Structure 1
């Protein structure tokens, strides 16, 4: 075996042991060896390294049952922290995430209108500094930064290839943010990191084939297959919002006509609403619907129909065991989830696939992207450590 392959296996084994302790703590060395199939000697070597580096400790607890008692291993929670960042059209969320995927602290920051990519990156650095200082976070415990944002991302290079919502193209986010902060930076699509968080800590725990859909300022999806995020050739798998549903339809922000998201996303709904009367926010549009204004009723019901169509298309293409509905439209307006599920079950899911999957709300809601970004950064750190 080549040295490169040996090094890769060592890193994978180390990450596997670490994940088992993290998810099954407290646990003995023998139990880790049994779960992984690694030799007791290999497990002990890895565990001892992690103890020396301050990530694990031997607890006062011992294993139960017959036979020789074993000392149980546990995590040093504060030994590893990461920064999770969510970038959206009008705001950014920044948080500190611990080893268990818990949000230690976090803040929301409004973005300036037409804010440049460079200014946004500078503000991320400023926000991290404020958060660390305000909450007295030990900087040496932070292992990296993860950023989730809408659009196509080259996650290997940390390059934002194209984001319609942010208006970014070929932005070297990871390199620029690392130059400002000194931390390693992992960048990915927001729904992919949210799917990762839901898989590890939210609604997708125990699922092997999960589809997460996001309905908000854009429309997209992410797939988890056997515990791994499915990325495709360009990390753009799941960009269902830019599939064409009507070649003669409305103009999309991406420059094409008839994209699916033009019938669902917030900016398109507000644009359509303003053809009737001035409507500044999505909340105003839903208030008009609740007041029984027929134009608002029809506009939102059309969006709900296309959401149900989206779910059906994802289910037909990917045959998941779980479908998670998320995004601003789902989280701000709980009735949307109920109505989409009802439409799916009554009309839009292809009959042979009805009952083959379960619906879920996002378990982590608005915190999902920040937590997922933080966990992405931790995974990158431990894979390379």
Structure 2
């Protein structure tokens, strides 16, 4: 085997052992060897390296059962920290995340839609610095920054190829943010990051095949299969918001007509509402619905119908065991969840698949992308070390 291949296998084995300890702690070396098929010698070597670097400790507990007792291994959660960043159209969320995905400090601030990438990234660098100082975080423990944002991302290079919501194209985000902060930077689509977080810490714990749907400023999806993000060839799997519903329909920000998200996303709903009367926010639109204004009721009911159709489409494509609804619409107006579920089972989900999956609400809300981005940064760090 070539040295390159050997080095790759060593990194993969190290990451595998690290992930098993992280999610199954406390656990013995023998159990890790049994699960992975690695030799006890290989497992002991990796464990010794991780312990020497301060990531593990040996628990005073011993494994139960007959035979020789085994010392159990646990993570030192505070040994490694990462920064998770969510870049949205109108807001930026930043958090410090530990090994278990716990957010130990967080800040958020508004972002102007017209803000350039350079201004946004300079501000992110400043906010990270202020967040660590105000919370007395030891920066030596921070191993990197993870960033989640809407759009097509080259997650290998950290370049934003195209983001409709932010209006960015060919932005070398990881490279520039590393220059600003000094940290290694991992970049990914925000729904992929959020789906990973929900799988690890939220609504999809224990799920084998999870689809997360985001309904808010845009419409998108992410698919987690047996703990891994399904990316497709160019990391654009899940861009369901730009599937065509009506080629003669409304013009989307992406330049095409009749994209799915033009029937659901907040910008399109407000644009349609303002043809009737001035409506400044999505809250105003829902208030008009509650007041019994028929045009508002029609707009929202149409959006819920297309949400149910979206659920049917992803269920038919991926056959998941769980579908998680997330985004600004479901976070701000949780009452629509029951309406969408009713539409799914009464009209839109293909009958053979009814009862084959759960429809769940996101549990992590505004922390989801921050947690997922922080965990992706940690995964990159431990895979490369």
TM-score by length of 1: 0.98
Question: Please, what is the CA RMSD of the aligned residues?
Answer: 0.9
1:65 shift after superposition: 2.2
Q: 2:164–2:253: 8 Å Cα contact kept in structure 1?
A: yes
Q: For residues 148 and 344 of structure 2, what CA distance do their matches in structure 1 show?
A: 29
1:113 shift after superposition: 4.1
Q: Report what 2:360 is aligned to.
A: 360
Task: Give ranges in structure 1 of 5+ residues lacking alignment.
Answer: none
Aligned: 1:298 with 2:291: no
Task: Give ranges in structure 2 of 5+ residues lacking alignment.
Answer: none
Q: Report what 2:253 is aligned to.
A: 253
Q: For residues 73 and 232 of structure 2, what CA distance do their matches in structure 1 show?
A: 38
Q: Report what 2:276 is aligned to.
A: 276
1:226-255 Cα shifts (integer Å, max 9, x gaps): 221111111111101011111111111111
1:279 shift after superposition: 0.8
> Paired residues, what number?
385
Q: Report what 1:193 is aligned to.
A: 193
SS in 2 for 1:311: helix
Q: Report what 1:343 is aligned to.
A: 343
Q: 2:161–2:171: 8 Å Cα contact kept in structure 1?
A: yes
Q: For residues 213 and 370 of structure 1, what CA distance do their matches in structure 2 show?
A: 17
1:40 shift after superposition: 1.1
SS in 2 for 1:57: strand
Q: For residues 364 and 209 of structure 1, what CA distance do their matches in structure 2 show?
A: 18
Q: For residues 52 and 330 of structure 1, what CA distance do their matches in structure 2 show?
A: 45
* Runs of 4+ residues over 6 Å off in structure 1: none
Q: For residues 218 and 64 of structure 2, what CA distance do their matches in structure 1 show?
A: 51
Q: For residues 32 and 106 of structure 1, what CA distance do their matches in structure 2 show?
A: 34
Q: Report what 1:166 is aligned to.
A: 166
SS in 1 for 2:335: helix
Q: Report what 1:313 is aligned to.
A: 313
SS in 1 for 2:92: strand
Q: For residues 357 and 12 of structure 1, what CA distance do their matches in structure 2 show?
A: 32
Q: 2:89–2:113: 8 Å Cα contact kept in structure 1?
A: no
1:1-41 Cα shifts (integer Å, max 9, x gaps): 11111111111111111111111111121221122221111
TM-score by length of 2: 0.98
1:379 shift after superposition: 0.4
Q: Report what 2:182 is aligned to.
A: 182
